[in-house]
Structures are given as C-alpha cells and as structure tokens.
Amino acid sequence: MPFDLIPQDVLGIEQLRSGVALMKSRIRGISRRLALAAVWAIAVFSTIAPAVAEETPDAVQLLRAVLADEYKVHDIRSMYVRLAVKHATSPEEIAKNLARLQAQNPRVPPSEFTPERFPELRPEKSIGEVERAFDTKRLRLFDHYGNDIDLKIWDGKTQISYQKHEQFKFKDEQYAYVDNPKEFFGDHFFDNLPWLRLGTHSFWWNSVPVPTAAEKAMWCGEQPEDYKYIGERLYRDRQCYVLECFKELRTQVFVDVKYHRLRGILQFYFPTDIALAKWAELAQRISGKKVGTNAEINAWLKSLPVEEIARVNSQYLAARHRDLDRPFCDYFADDYREVAPGFWFPMKQGFVTFSSKNGLSFESGNNKFQVVEIKVNQPLPDSLFTMEMKEGVKVVDTRGQDRSLPCPWPTYTYKKNRPKEEWQAILDAHQKKVDQARKEQAEKDRRVGQPALEFAGLQWLNSKPLKLADLQGKVVVLGFWAVGCGPCRDDLPRMIAWHNNQSASEIVFIGVHISGNTKEEIQKVVKQYDMKYPIYIDTPPEPGVDAFGTMTGWYGVRGIPYAVVIDRDGKVAGHGRLEEVLKKVNELVNRHK
C-alpha cells in the first residue's frame, strides 16, 4: 500500500516518523539504483544500438566534406612521417600460403617449409617501420619489415633505391638507378599506408592529372553521387554513418557521426566461379532453358533486345552483390590530430585483408600503423634524401637504357673509385647483350604477319590433337611454360581465369609446354591448378638447335613465361609477356565487333 494512502490513525506518531524515515531511505536507495540502471542502459544501448537521426544524412555532402579534408594534403609544402608497423597473419592464411609455396617449389622437401625460411608462414610476420618524406622537389620512401628493407630516394636529379631481402640462408641486396621519379614512386608513394584511400591525388611525382573541384573522383573511379546512406553502425568503437556504392565492386565508407571524419573503407569482391553460377541461375530463370557455360550465357545475352540486356544485367549485379560479395580489404583510421592548421592526420591507421575458402571468408592479415613522429611544413634535412652506398653490393643501372628491349640492365658491383678502364669494360659487356637482344627481338618480330607454325606433335592434354586450320576465325593465345618454372606458375591463374571467363566462340587458349618433361609430370601440375584449356607438349628441337623445342625455337622464345597471339586468319599478331599479349587479344576481339 502506498505510504500516503495509509490512514494516520493506524500508526502512532513515533511509528509514523520512523516509518517516514525508513520509507525515505528506501526511496533514496531505489532512486540511486534506478539512476545507475538508467546510466548503464544509456551507455550500453548507445553503444550497441544505432542512433536515430532526426533526418537522413546527405551521403553526397558527407563524402564531399571528407574528400575536402583529405585534399588538404595538397596545401602541404613538406612532410615527414614515421610509423611503427605490426603485421599478423591468420592460421587459415598460413595454411593457404604453405600450399601455394609447396606448389611453387616442388623440389623443396616438406621439412624445409619453415617460418624461418619462408616469412609467409610466420603468424607475426614482421614488426617494423615505414617513413615517407616529401617537399617541393625531393622524395623519400622507406619500408623496413623484419630483415627486409626497401629504401627509395629522389634527390631532385637522380633516383637511387636500395633493397635488401633476407630469409633462411638466402640473402639478396642491390642498388638501382633510374631517370624518372614517376617510375619508382609514381602513384605508389603512399600505397603501403591506409591514408589517402578515398580520393585520387595528383602530386608532382605521379602521373594523375590535376582534377578540378567538380572532377575530384574517388580512388576507384566512383563519384560521391554514386553513394547512398544505408544507416548507422558501430565501426571500431565509433558510431558511424554507413555510405555504400554498388558498381562493378561494392564499397562501404564509414564516416563518424560526431566529427564527420573518415573512419574506414570496406571493399568487397566476388568469386568469379560462383558468379558464373549466379549468371546461369538467372539465365535459366528468365529463359526457362538450361544455360551453364560462358558461351551459352553470352549467346543467350546476345539474343535479347538491347533494352532487355541492360535490365537483365542490372538484375544480375543486384543478385551478385546480395548473395556473392565477400569482404576484400578493410582500411581504417583513428586518433586524428591537427598536425598543421586545418590539416588533420590519423595517428592510428591500418588495414585488414580477407581471404576465402569453400565460400567462407576469413581475416587473413592485420596491419596496424602507429605514428611515431610527424613534421609538416618544416625544413627537411638533406640527410633524408642521401644514401651511403656500400662497397661490393650489386647495382642495376637503368639510366638512359632502351626499355623496349627484353635485355638485362647494366649490372655491376658498387666501387667508390672505379678506374675508367673498368667502366669501359662494363659498358662493352652490356653493349654485347644489347646487340644480342636486338637480334632476338628482330627474330620474333619477323614472325608477326606470317602464318603461324602448325602443331606438329601429337601429345596433348585436355584436348584431342588440334590443327590451326580448325581454329580459323578465332583468336588463339599460346602460353609458353614449364612445370619447373616458378614465374610460369604466377601466370597460370591469369590464363585459367581468362579461359574460364571468355566466350568459347571467340578466343582459344592453348598452353605450350616446352619439351623435356614427361606427360605424367605435366599432367600432375595441370590437375593441381585445375587447368581446363588445351595443353600442347612441344617436340624436341632438331639436333644442334639451341631452343626449348620446335615451336619455341620457331617463335624465338628464349625465356619463359612467354605468350604469342594468333589472329582470326591464322597469322601471328603479337608476342611478349602475358599482360602485353592479352591487351592485343582485346584489340583483336574489339576490332571484330
């Protein structure tokens, strides 16, 4: 019964007074507990529940404000920043790294795949530091992770770099000279930092055109207008607005509610093999027909009216983003400080990388950066832009060289006071290599425009023996490789992806394995990489001919990996590294449309 409803004649006056005191004490206790409970509830629920905004934030205005803050870096005349770095690799990623390393190094015994020899197998792979420094004419980039060092300096006239790589019993270090800062620095000066990830930036050392205020695009080519506000969420202990863009790739940007500063950028990707299945599912649902391969999907799309293709493609992108997107990289920034008037810099930053297995994503690596020292708009000492070179270390000198030739650069060991006679001997030896490279290049070039060499051997994998006559009307890519070639294995995933994603009616990929290995040895790698395109095993060269095989010799292939493209008329159309040849492939395909 409430106290104020108790009749006074029921209680004596002393009892009444003592009752009043007791009740007041209890009320005060209850009030304190209710107050504490209210404070606790506010603290907890403001952390885990999204705040309710009075009105929906304008995503475009938010992004423009964040971009404006980031673009203030261009008002900076000079800057030096040093950051401590800590990197951790997840157990799942270590297992993937081990499988990859074993595939790339088939002759290394299993017992030698240790964290000491292969840093990719270390849970705490590296603890180090990075430095970046620039003024109006000089640059310094320094990355130091464990035993690895990468130092690049542009003093205003010459760029010199020093790289040292050390693991297990292997140690390699070298210097390199270049003519132009754009070659080594270019658009990659800040690549290892999460900072400056939102916009595209034009500096005096890179090749990005200076954008107007209206042209300040975001770093993946999107515009602020491409983003939409999708709500609020707690991101790394900060309540943030979430802005999202759906284009070819999905991106989420996190802007904190309180200060409107950039806190994170989360990028997504989609597995291409699963995407093909999604296309097939959509095509079957719309057409009512069984459609499964790339060729069938492309044929079905081409049969649709133009306006229908756009609508179907929109449906596919929406379904892909909804069902297939996987996190790719999460860049984050925190603890902003005003290091110059109006210029705020995140003293804590980093990025998390993700990988996937069996359709499930997991965190593969975590990189954290902590600013140790930062100077803005202060004179920078000359010592930051000079390098003391060590006697006897290898030097690769690219200054003034013909970069169109596949020729090794002039290489020598550093010697402070080298006699003129030694310099001349170095130059003469390099000139012989240049002459030989020009001869080999001419040998390859003379094949362009000629009918391609017919396949003479009968050893094939993944296909019956093919003839070029059977491939007339198609663009043919020949990828030269070998099971014992490490760099070749780096090219294989790209060839496989191109083969899996192209229309069978237009392009044919054929792997050309050099002679010298058994069919069983080659089959083992083909199965390991799930290579589905045809593999031709080259026949041995004629006695006395210095070549990997008959076909490799005819095309003048002296080193692998290498690629050749044959046009629709069966003539050689180009040759070179795989990425160069694939550009030619696109040109040939587009020319036919």
Q: In this model, does residue 389 exceed pLDDT 80?
A: yes
pLDDT winner (highest mean) among 14-23, 220-229, 340-349, 492-501: 340-349
Q: For 421-437, b where at least 16 C-beta lie within 10 A, e where not — what string? A: eeeeebeeebeeeeeeb
CA distances from 588 to 110, 330, 356, 412, 518 (A): 45, 38, 35, 42, 35
**3-class SS of residue 112:** helix
* Average pLDDT of the segment spanning 256-283: 80
Q: In this model, does residue 153 exceed pLDDT 80?
A: yes
The answer to whether the bond into 561 is cis (omega within 30° of 0) is: yes
Q: In this model, does residue 333 exceed pLDDT 60?
A: yes
Give yes or no: residues 84 and 215 share one domain: yes
Instruction: Report pLDDT for 125.
Output: 61
Tokens of 533: 């395109």
Q: In this model, does residue 15 exceed pLDDT 50?
A: no
Say if CB 188 and CB 207 are below 8 A apart: no
CA distances from 168 to 113, 116, 416 (A): 10, 6, 30
Residue 24 falls inside a structural domain: yes
Instruction: Report pLDDT for 297.
Output: 72
Question: What is the distance between the alpha carbons of residues 533 and 20, in angstroms, rounded to a whole number?
Answer: 92
Instruction: Report pLDDT for 507.
Output: 86
Percent of the chain with pLDDT over 90: 34
Q: In this model, does residue 47 exceed pLDDT 60?
A: no
Q: In this predicted model, which residue has the larger pLDDT, 287 or 583?
A: 583
Residue 223 falls inside a structural domain: yes
Least confident of 103-112, 199-208, 327-336, 402-411: 402-411
Instruction: Report pLDDT for 480.
Output: 93
Question: What is the distance between the alpha carbons of residues 449 and 92, in angstroms, rounded to a whole number?
Answer: 49
Containing structural domain, residue 9:
3-48
**Pairing outcome for strands 79-89 and 126-134:** antiparallel
Give yes or no: residues 15 and 139 share one domain: no
User: pLDDT band at residue 516, thresholds of 50, 70 and 90?
Assistant: confident
pLDDT digits (tens, 9 = 90+) for 100-135: 788 877 778 888 888 877 767 877 766 789 999 999
Question: What is the distance between the alpha carbons of residues 416 and 391, in angstroms, rounded to a whole number?
Answer: 7
Q: In this predicted model, which residue has the larger pLDDT, 25 or 316?
A: 316
Residue 37 falls inside a structural domain: yes
**The last residue of a domain, from among 444, 473, 489:** 444
**3-class SS of residue 71:** helix
* Sign of the dihedral defined by the CA atoms of residues 388, 392, 398, 399, in that order: positive
Q: In this predicted model, which residue has the larger pLDDT, 455 or 116?
A: 455
Give yes or no: residues 340 and 453 share one domain: no
Say if CB 85 and CB 145 are below 8 A apart: yes
Say if CB 540 and CB 550 are below 8 A apart: yes
Instruction: Report pLDDT for 407.
Output: 65
Instruction: Report pLDDT for 284.
Output: 75
What are the backbone angles phi and psi of residue 376, rounded to the nearest 5°?
-130, 135
Q: In this model, does residue 49 exceed pLDDT 50?
A: no
* Sign of the dihedral defined by the CA atoms of residues 216, 218, 223, 228, in that order: negative
Give yes or no: residues 345 and 461 share one domain: no
What are the backbone angles phi and psi of residue 81, rounded to the nearest 5°?
-140, 135
Give yes or no: residues 291 and 430 share one domain: no
Instruction: Report pLDDT for 114.
Output: 84
* Average pLDDT of the segment spanning 58-85: 93
Q: In this predicted model, which residue has the larger pLDDT, 230 or 220?
A: 230
Give yes or no: residues 525 and 419 share one domain: no
Bridge partners (DSSP) of residue 233 are 240
Question: What is the distance between the alpha carbons of residues 243 and 185, in angstroms, rounded to a whole number?
Answer: 31
Strand segments, DSSP code E, in 524-570 are 535-537, 562-566
Residue 60 falls inside a structural domain: no
Q: In this model, does residue 237 exceed pLDDT 60?
A: yes
Q: In this predicted model, which residue has the larger pLDDT, 200 or 66?
A: 66
Percent of the chain with pLDDT over 70: 79
Q: How many residues does the chain have?
A: 593
Q: Which of 195, 205, 216, 213 is nearest to 81 (CA)?
A: 195
Instruction: Report pLDDT for 500.
Output: 75
User: pLDDT band at residue 57, thresholds of 50, 70 and 90?
Assistant: very high
User: pLDDT band at residue 217, thresholds of 50, 70 and 90?
Assistant: low
Residue 382 falls inside a structural domain: no
Mean pLDDT of the chain: 80
Instruction: Report pLDDT for 504.
Output: 52
Residue 573 falls inside a structural domain: yes
Could you tell me the CATH number of the domain that includes residue 526? 3.40.30.10
Angle at 387 between CA 384 and CA 393, to 5 degrees: 155
Question: What is the distance between the alpha carbons of residues 41 and 47, in angstroms, rounded to a whole number?
Answer: 10
Q: What is the DSSP letter of 218?
A: B
Give yes or no: residues 87 and 226 share one domain: yes
Instruction: Report pLDDT for 372.
Output: 96
Give yes or no: residues 494 and 552 share one domain: yes
User: pLDDT band at residue 142, thresholds of 50, 70 and 90?
Assistant: very high
* Average pLDDT of the segment spanning 151-172: 85
Say if CB 155 and CB 385 are below 8 A apart: yes
Give yes or no: residues 438 and 341 share one domain: no
- Answer left, alpha or beta for residue 196, where phi above 0 means left and psi between -120 and 50 means alpha: left
User: pLDDT band at residue 583, thresholds of 50, 70 and 90?
Assistant: confident
Give yes or no: residues 136 and 33 share one domain: no
**Pairing outcome for strands 475-481 and 507-513:** parallel
- How many Cβ atoms from other residues are within 10 Å of residue 214's Cβ? 7
User: pLDDT band at residue 346, thresholds of 50, 70 and 90?
Assistant: very high
pLDDT winner (highest mean) among 296-310, 374-388, 538-552: 374-388
Give yes or no: residues 39 and 169 share one domain: no
Q: In this model, does residue 22 exceed pLDDT 50?
A: no
Residue 56 falls inside a structural domain: no
Q: Structural domain tally of the chain?
A: 5
Instruction: Report pLDDT for 314.
Output: 74
pTM score, whole prediction: 0.65
Instruction: Report pLDDT for 170.
Output: 67
Give yes or no: residues 101 and 20 share one domain: no
User: pLDDT band at residue 210, thresholds of 50, 70 and 90?
Assistant: low
Q: What is the DSSP letter of 199?
A: B
Residue 53 falls inside a structural domain: no
* Average pLDDT of the segment spanning 356-368: 76
